[in-house]
Amino acid sequence: MGPIGIFDSGYGGLTVFREIIRKLPQYDYVYLGDNARVPYGTRSFETVYAYTRECVEKLFEMDCHLVVLACNTASAKALRTIQQRDLPKQPGVRKVLGVIRPTTEVIGRHTDTRHVGILATPGTVKSMSYPIEIRKFYPDIAVFQQACPMWVPLVENAELDSPGTAYFVEREINLLLRQSTHIDTVVLACTHYPLLYPLVRHFLPQHIRLLSQGELVADSLADYLTHHPEVESLCTKGRQTRFYTTDNATDFEEKAERFYGQPIKAAKVKTLLT
Ligand code: DGL
C-alpha cells in the first residue's frame, strides 16, 4: 500500500492537487514537480515522454500504486505510451491517469452552441488530444485551439500582474475567438493557467464560460476510486502529504504557496539530469 502520486512539470499541478485534497482528504499523497526541466509544453514528444516516465517511476519507488499526471502536456504526450508500453512491465498494480479525459468527457454538459475553445501549451495543441478525445464523447462539438507559449513561463516567474502578461493573454484570447464567433465555453487546458483566471476572465466576453480543470479532475478521481476497489484498497489513508521537486526545495517552497493556497515543506529528488 502507499500514497497517491500527483505529478506535474512544475507548480501547475498544485492547482489540481488543491481540489483533489479538498474532495478526497482521507488519503496520503506525494506531489512531485519536475521544476528542473519545466516547461514541458514546448518540448518534443520523446523528451516529454522520457521526463514523465522517469518521474512516474520515482513515484512508483515511493510506493504509489496510482499516479495522476496533473499536467496536460504530459497527459497528451506521455500517458498513452506509459499505459501501453511501460505499465504492463511493472510488477503488481500500477495505474496512471491523466487530466484530459476527465475534462473532455464532461465538456458537452457545459456548451450550448457546441463550439468549444481550448487554451493550452503548444505541445498539447499539437498533439490534437483535445479535438480527438472530445470527438469520441461528443461528435457534434467543434473544437478550436490556441497555443499560448508564453503563459507558463510568465506564471512560473510570478509575472501575473505585469503589462507584458496582459498583452499575451489578450492576444491569445483574440486569436482563439477569431476562429469562431460561436464559442460559448473556453477550457484552461493547462494546469498552470488557473493563476491567470482573473486576467483571462477580464479579456473574455462575459457570455463565454471559462472552465478550470481542478474540480473536474477531482470528481473524476473520486469516481475512479469508487469503481476500482482493487486500486482504492492500495491507497493508504493517513491524511499525510509530502512534496518533492527535482530542483531546489527552498525555491519550490517559496513559490508553491501561490499555486497551492497554503505554505508547504518540500524535499529534492534527483533525476538523471539533476
Ligand atoms: N502544467 C502543464 C500543463 O498542464 C504544462 C506546463 C509546462 O509547459 O511545463 O500542460
Three-class DSSP category at 25: coil
Cell numbers representing residue 182 in the block: 460561436
Cα separation, 183 vs 208, whole angstroms: 7
- Quickly state the pLDDT bin for 271 (edges 50, 70, 90): confident
For residues 220 and 54, the answer to whether their CB atoms sit within 8 Å is no
Nearest CA to ligand 1 atom 2: 71
Q: Residue for cell digits 491507497?
A: 235
* Half-sphere exposure at residue 186, Cβ-oriented, CA atoms within 13 angstroms: 29
128-170 confidence digits (pLDDT tens):
999 999 999 999 999 999 999 999 999 988 899 999 999 999 9
Residue 245, pLDDT score: 97
Three-class DSSP category at 266: strand
Angle between helices 249-260 and 13-23 (to 10 degrees): 60
User: 101-212 adopts what CATH topology?
Assistant: Rossmann fold (3.40.50)
Report the chain's mean pLDDT, rounded to a whole number. Answer: 96
Mean pLDDT of 34-41: 93
How remote is the CA of residue 161 from the centroid of ligand 1, in Å? Answer: 20
H-assigned helices in 82-210: 100-104, 122-127, 129-137, 151-156, 163-177, 197-203
Pocket of ligand 1 contains residue 124 by CB under 6 Å: yes
CA 242 to each of CA 5, 26, 136: distance values in angstroms, whole numbers, following the listed order? 10, 14, 36
Cα separation, 204 vs 173, whole angstroms: 7
In the chain, what are the domain boundaries? 4-99+215-268, 101-212
Asked if pLDDT for residue 273 goes beyond 80, the answer is: no
Cell numbers representing residue 46 in the block: 520523446
- Is domain 4-99+215-268 annotated with CATH 3.40.50.800? no
Q: What is the DSSP string of 41-83?
A: TTS-HHHHHHHHHHHHHHHHHTT-SEEEE--HHHHHHTHHHII
Asked if pLDDT for residue 21 goes beyond 90, the answer is: yes
Nearest CA to ligand 1 atom 8: 41
Residue 274, pLDDT score: 63
Out of 40-44, 49-53, 166-170, 196-200, least confident range = 40-44
Mean pLDDT of 169-191: 98
How remote is the CA of residue 229 from the centroid of ligand 1, in Å? Answer: 30
Pocket of ligand 1 contains residue 183 by CB under 6 Å: no
Q: Compute the CA torsion angle 145, 136, 218, 40 (nearest 10 deg).
A: -40
Asked if pLDDT for residue 214 goes beyond 70, the answer is: yes
Asked if pLDDT for residue 192 goes beyond 90, the answer is: yes
- Quickly state the pLDDT bin for 14 (edges 50, 70, 90): very high
How remote is the CA of residue 120 from the centroid of ligand 1, in Å? Answer: 8
Q: Do 4-99+215-268 and 101-212 share a fold?
A: yes
Task: Tell me which of 55, 71, 148, 235 is the catalytic residue.
Answer: 71
Ligand 1 atom closest to Cα of residue 40: 9
Examine the residue annotation and report whether 235 is marked as an active-site residue of this protein: no
Examine the residue annotation and report whether 71 is marked as an active-site residue of this protein: yes
Determine how many CB atoms are found less than 10 A away from the CB of residue 221. 23
Pocket of ligand 1 contains residue 9 by CB under 6 Å: yes
How remote is the CA of residue 230 from the centroid of ligand 1, in Å? Answer: 30
Pocket of ligand 1 contains residue 39 by CB under 6 Å: yes
Q: What percent of the chain clears pLDDT 90, i.e. is strictly above it?
A: 95
Three-class DSSP category at 30: strand
The closest of 45, 172, 186, 13 to 103, measured between CA atoms, is 186
Determine how many CB atoms are found less than 10 A away from the CB of residue 179. 15
How remote is the CA of residue 186 from the centroid of ligand 1, in Å? Answer: 17
Residue 184, pLDDT score: 98
Query: Is the backbone peptide bond immediately before 153 cis, with ω within 30 degrees of 0?
Result: no
93-130 confidence digits (pLDDT tens):
999 999 999 999 999 999 999 999 999 999 999 999 99
Beta-bridge partner residues of 177? none
Mean pLDDT of 199-213: 97
Q: Give 139's contacts (C-beta < 8 A, 6+ positions apart).
A: none
